[in-house]
Amino acid sequence: MATHTTRMLIIGSGPAGLSAAIYGARAGLQPIVVQGLQPGGQLTITTDVENYPGFRDVIQGPWLMQEMEAQAVHVGTRMLWDTIVSVGLDGPTFRAIGDGGDVYEGDTLVIATGAQAKWLGVPGEMELSGKGVSACATCDGFFYRGKKVVVIGGGNTAVEEALYLTNHSQDVTLIHRRDSLRAEKILQDRLFAHPNVKVVWNKRVERFVGDAETGELRGVAVIDTETGEESEIGTDGAFVAIGHAPATSLFEGKLDTDESGYLIVEPGTPKTKIPGVFACGDVMDHTYRQAVTAAGTGCMAALDAERYLAAKDFAEAEQGLAAE
């Protein structure tokens, strides 16, 4: 067991955590990034990335994260492999304990633990992920221009995804297992009024069906929740939109969360209620959930952490002078 100390401790290694690391390292803070169970975050399970600025051609998610990590290391970040099992936020030094007993201490803490899309857990879902099945319309909708798509869900996320997809497709079907939606009425009104969207009620998705020749998604097998009748809805793309689960269990009882479990920050900043503790990326953003916005908030967290430390150092220096 070892103790690792740093001026900036970062938990999470997706676009938010690595961007914070790059800015922190360039400020001389020698950040430590604890990578967690999914180093690189959600982009490591994303294939084609076409909306991250700076690349004219489609790039691969894992490659992008490898480059971000290499850049962070190049400017002075220490990357450590561990899974954090508990944190102490009482200060003045923030502590995190790894599952092997290692201790990580930081004068500031940047939380970039991200969020995971909720999946249905039915056959074919993971096998066809990236081959027609997705959990992010704004990420992947562009690839289905002029094609038939379905969205699965009944809340705000599902309705918003369906409406977004009408920018690319003239044939959008929303599949819901009940006979009414949970989404806000204004969103429902927009959905029902859109000529390119139809809603299929009382249908539960049983499995995703792939084409034996191409290996791509062919359709969605559903069961009628009232009659038990089985059928298949043909589609080129299926978007699972049943919400996201932010990785905030470490901070229960220590930091405030909203009704969906996302960490609450001071509006327009990554600052939590505890000075010196910052949250960035999908763990605090339930609205945009994009790699580029996560990277932006990671930058903000590092800049705010640097300012926090500068003010703290100045105050301590003044106290030292006064004591002489």
Q: Identify the H or E element spanning 25.
A: helix 15-26
Q: How far apart are CA 281 and CA 185, in angstroms?
A: 29
| Residue 91 φ/ψ, nearest 5 degrees | 70, 180
Residue type, 176: H
User: Where in the sequence numbering do the catalytic residues fall?
Assistant: 136, 139-140
Burial 243-276 (b: 16+ CB within 10 A, else e): bbebbbebbeeebeeeeebbbebeeeebbbebeb
DSSP of 92-160: SSEEEEETTS-EEEEEEEEE---EEE-----TTTTTTBTTTEES-HHHHGGGGTTSEEEEE-SSHHHHH
Q: How far apart are alpha carbons 108 and 286 in whole angstroms?
A: 24
Give the rounded distance of the alpha carbon of 259 from its chain centre.
17
Helical axes 15-26 vs 291-323, angle rounded to 10°: 40
Rama region for 56: left / alpha / beta (φ>0; ψ in -120 to 50; rest): alpha
Decide if 98 contacts 9 (C-beta within 8 A). Answer: no
Is 239 in contact with 161 (CB distance < 8 Å)? yes
C-alpha 113/C-alpha 41 separation (Å) is: 8
Q: CB of 276 within 8 A of CB of 260?
A: no
